[in-house]
Amino acid sequence: MEDAQWPDLLHLFASVKNLDLSKDSVPFLAPALQELSGERVTEVLPTLENHFLERPQPSGPVKEAIGKFIAARQLAGCPVTVRHRDRASDDEHVSDSEAEDSDSELE
């Protein structure tokens, strides 16, 4: 699926509050989320509150892409809490979505 097609697909899930992404899906979806800007960042997944990421935590361009999406949501007044999950045990670590530095939200 092309990055430009993801927002159209995600529009089908407008009422989703929790987005739980596996480590296998994050590299495909993160670049598409990063491309959302302005009004588009809240048009796609408008009710999103929690973004669950499976461990190991993303790094490099994927981490940067998710950080930019989270920062854009924050600026739009629609903050998202990032939660890291160990899929095997369902343990969670909650990151503060109100942090100034969006990169720190993914640590």
* Assessment of whether the complete model's pTM goes beyond 0.85: no
The residues, ordered by sequence, that sit 6+ positions from 2 with a Cβ below 8 Å of its Cβ are: none
Domain ranges of the chain: 3-106
4 by Cβ neighbours in 10 Å (0-12 / 13-18 / 19+) ranks as exposed
Note if the bond before 31 is cis, omega within 30 degrees. Answer: no
Span 13-64, pLDDT tens digits: 889 999 998 888 888 888 888 888 777 888 889 999 998 988 777 788 888 9
Token pair of 93, please? 């670590």
